[in-house]
Structure 1
């Protein structure tokens, strides 16, 4: 066998060799006796204090004769790490076999694998957690039975220690173990029944597109109980970030459409869509009071398209502040800096109309100039100075 060839040994073949024969658990702080046996430091110290002999061979033994076995501790820890890796590999193989039959359909493999990956991750974690939980419970049961048989368990009173009384205690322990397992399983089943929602009832993530403003808002979460109006604050915030505040909402006019994931587009000819709306199965007309989740069967990845549903600053005819100042005198105004044009002291009207698509930042907020200050016309960039 090559030196690098991997040798696989079942964990159950090794387990007894790394377990303490007193507590039946993995040795912690292993010590070696002169007679060649290993135990947990705590276990053998307590045993020798009572019996002054080795539990395995009955040789005379004192605490001063113990030798710490640090190398064995490291060896045992490595085995436990490899055991955990093997458990995860087992579940990986289990899930891979379960999904092999679905791999032939390449057109659906991407979507299926994404969903299955999430389920696999959570289910594997849950199975491993519960397996370890119940294994620990059973190990504790075996340990207590062993200590009871050895006559060193003081947690329970067993009278004069006769075999019949020990059998009664063992029977009680077994009954309690089974009851604990049953209650834990029932509690988890009840929790899953109450808290595992159907996929159709989970909140969905959609996008909102403002036609005419070329604004698309991603990752909008809609809950089953939400009305369409829930998106208004999100739209207001997105418009605010573009320095184009919404002035009024048109609640009784405008167009609100819902497109399914397979019917949405990069751009929309809303007028043409409205004309053919009755024949479009995957496009639904909405009102602000609509419940798109239930009324329109909204799915993740859908897109809500809005047109002419509000009036914003950009909808008002813009006039350069230099022109406004000459007519109305001093007033507070926000000034911006256009990074693309490398010009500062640009009024809001000019930044919206003359620097569309440019990179800009707010330069001074609510400043009240004493002259017709706007550097957009001064740099011969202004498109609205004659309005």
Structure 2
């Protein structure tokens, strides 16, 4: 017999030993006449209600079931080896010092695991010390009895031993109950990595603006980005005036597929061949539907119209002497000019170092220093 050791990742065979009804490991394997396997209990309940195979929809009765004992044995061997590998991994992580072999995620788990173990060790050490203290007090009380008080009788000795045993049993019971309570708490509260919030970046391709550290909760749909994008554009003095809900391009790039810039047209035309890129809609829930990973990037193009996308006119041309026109003015550090209207700051000073100067000002004349300094590109001559 060959002694060759096969090392096969559990993830590569996990789907092959799962019941497609309960999505858990198959227990009491039943092989149908159409070649599919299920848990005995799952397929029995299913067939009694639907009389068909869940996978291929062919007619099926319980008389066509075949018990697959060999498959059950194979599953047990696989689970045993999986548990051994997990225990070895746990032992290695627990016993190792800080190591470059451990990922940052593993280091975090190890840190909290160590802290939790030490906390519980101190807790149970106090319980054990208290138990030993009471037993020692009991022994000390016997040793200090006055002469003439004899406790060496069988009944008295048995009573004392029973008290000691009762205290030790109570200690064990306390440890057991605490451990079970802690296990229940971890089962209910320690989250799977798949349901944690995910931090991604958002790239506005039209504006060449990248928004880092955008956090998605598992239940969030893509439209949670709208107020985030609106605030970012407002900070750039380029207010969004309309969203094109039915148009534009919305793509999700996995962490290993994202780049600095994107050829959106080429990606969109070849998206079926790109397994790490997904087409989105505003109603898409990226974590649930596409397993969005930390470090992914969402690319938006043509999904909104901003003020800079509208035909621009300098305030010097739009001023009405009898009208009330609250206007925002800006300064450009590169050109060393103040009192620049919003249209000019967006069109004539693109990419410059700018800042708000006076907001909501009500000028009494056609005030904009951009044309005055002969820098204006949009003023009507």
For 1:316 and 1:231, the matched residues in 2 are separated by 22
Unaligned 5+ residue runs, structure 2? 1-90, 143-149
The answer for the alignment partner of 1:127 in structure 2 is 117
Distance 1:263 1:170 in 2: 66
Q: Structure 1 residue 195 and structure 2 residue 183: aligned?
A: no
With over 3 angstroms needed to count, the CA separation of the structure-2 counterparts of 1:269 and 1:99, relative to structure 1, is farther
Q: Which residue of 1 aligns with 2:365?
A: 371
Length, aligned pairs only: 281
1:124, distance to aligned residue in structure 2 (A): 1.1
- Residue 148 in structure 1 maps to residue 142 in structure 2: no
Give the Cα separation in 2 of the matches to 1:125 and 1:348: 56
Is 2:273 the counterpart of 1:270? Answer: no
- Residue matched to 1:259: 253
CA contact (8 A) 1:330 1:371 kept: no
Quote the offset at 1:97 in angstroms: 5.3
* SS of alignment partner, residue 328 of structure 2: strand
Q: Which residue of 2 aligns with 1:59?
A: none
Matched, 1:205 2:199: yes
Q: How much has 1:164 moved relative to structure 2? A: 4.8
Q: Secondary structure at the match of 1:252?
A: coil
Deviations 1:151-210 (A, max 9, x none): 39xxxxxxx996554434323321221111001100111111122232222221111111
The residue matched to 1:319 in structure 2 has which SS? Answer: coil
Pick closer, same or farther for the CA change 1:151–1:355 going to 2, 3 Å.
farther
* TM-score, normalisation: structure 2: 0.68
Corresponding residue of 2:210: 216
Structure 1 residue 345: deviation in Å?
1.4
Q: CA deviation at 1:278?
A: 2.5
Per the alignment, in what secondary structure is the counterpart of residue 370 of structure 1? coil
Residue 19 (structure 2) aligns with:
none
Match of 1:332 in 2: 326
Moved more, 324-333 or 273-282: 324-333
Distance in 1 between residues matched to 2:357 and 2:365, nearest whole Å: 18
Aligned to 1:137: 127
TM-score normalised by L of structure 1? 0.67
Residue 362 (str. 1) matches residue 352 (str. 2): no
Residue in structure 1 matched with residue 93 of structure 2 by the alignment: 95
- 2:319 partner SS: helix
CA–CA distance in structure 1, aligned partners of residues 369 and 189 of structure 2:
61
Paired position in structure 1 for 2:146: none
* 1:261 to partner: Cα distance: 1.1
Shift in CA distance, 327/257, structure 1 to aligned 2, threshold 3 Å: farther
1:309 & 1:142 partners in 2: Cα distance? Answer: 72
Q: Say whether residues 1:244 and 2:238 are aligned partners.
A: yes
Of the three residues 98, 103, 106, the one matched with 1:113 is 103
**1:276: Cα distance to partner?**
2.0
Paired residue for 2:275?
A: 281
Question: How far off its partner does 1:280 sit?
Answer: 2.0
Deviations 1:334-366 (A, max 9, x none): 111223333221111111122222222222221
Residues 229-240 of structure 1 aligned to structure 2 (within 5 Å): 229-240=223-234
1:282-341 deviation digits (Å, cap 9, x = unpaired): 211111111222322321111111111011111111111112116885411011122333
User: What are the superposed Cα offsets for residues 244-295 of structure 1, whole Å, 9 maximum, x if unpaired?
Assistant: 1111111111111111111111001112222222322221111111122232
| Residue deviations 1:210-269 (CA, integer Å, cap 9, x gap) | 111011111112222221112111111111111111111111111111111111110011
1:226 corresponds, among 214, 220, 227, to 220
Q: Distance in 1 between matches of 2:188 and 2:137?
A: 41
Secondary structure of residue in 1 paired with 2:284: coil
